[in-house]
């Protein structure tokens, strides 16, 4: 019995001195030279992840064309070299735009990867209102900054645009 207790003590001391190896968690960093692009990358990733938990509606409702999701991030200490410490990300009509992506055959994960794997590239072109254009690193998507007046205009035309896309079954050159 004493020898069994001695063996147990030897095993216990062995496990106490065993080194522990920790594997660092892989975290997606959004590195861009421009803080606006870092926030855009973070926002696209956040939005696509949030939408993946929302059931796809059978039919869009009128409120979906007015809806928006807004998140405010304060004291964002992680990745502070590339991201502002306080920022807001607002996405307009998330279910409508997800529906449009589906109708055009755009997979959400491919869309997210195109805009977040590497920082979008600044385009030399600039809109009349001073809007900035950016192209995804794989040149599949173009983003544009918009003013509050542009947001109001988008809300005015989005319902008719969506109806047009539904009627023509996404067979249009508009998104290309």
Distances (CA, A) of 117 to 33, 70, 108, 110: 14, 23, 14, 10
Distances (CA, A) of 143 to 7, 36, 96, 119, 127: 67, 12, 17, 12, 12
C-alpha radius of gyration, the chain, whole number: 24
At 146-163, the pLDDT tens digits run: 888 888 999 999 999 999
Q: Residue holding tokens 């059978």? A: 58
DSSP state of 33: S
Q: What CATH superfamily is the domain 30-167?
A: Phosphatidylinositol Phosphate Kinase II Beta (3.30.800.10)
CB atoms within 10 A of CB 41: 24
Averaged over 87-111, what is the pLDDT? 91
Distance (Å, rounded) from C-alpha 71 to C-alpha 39? 11
- Report pLDDT for 25: 44
- Look up the pTM and report it: 0.73
Domain ranges of the chain: 30-167
At 29-74, the pLDDT tens digits run: 566 667 777 778 888 888 898 898 989 899 999 999 999 988 887 7
């Amino acid at each position: 019995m004493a020898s069994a207790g001695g063996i147990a003590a030897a095993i216990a001391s062995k496990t106490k001195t065993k080194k522990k190896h920790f594997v660092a968690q892989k975290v997606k960093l959004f590195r861009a030279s421009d803080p606006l692009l870092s926030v855009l990358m973070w926002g696209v990733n956040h939005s696509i992840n949030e939408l993946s938990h929302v059931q796809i509606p059978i039919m869009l409702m009128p409120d979906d064309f007015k809806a928006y999701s807004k998140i405010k991030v304060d004291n964002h200490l992680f990745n502070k070299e590339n991201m502002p410490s306080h920022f807001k990300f607002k996405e307009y009509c998330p279910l409508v735009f997800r529906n449009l992506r589906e109708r055009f055959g755009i997979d959400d994960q491919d869309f997210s990867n195109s805009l977040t794997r590497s920082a979008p590239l600044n385009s030399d072109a600039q809109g009349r209102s001073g809007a900035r254009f950016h192209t995804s690193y794989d040149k599949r998507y173009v983003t544009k900054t918009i003013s509050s007046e542009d947001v109001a205009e988008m809300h005015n035309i989005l319902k008719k645009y969506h109806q047009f896309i539904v009627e023509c079954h996404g067979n249009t050159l508009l998104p290309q």
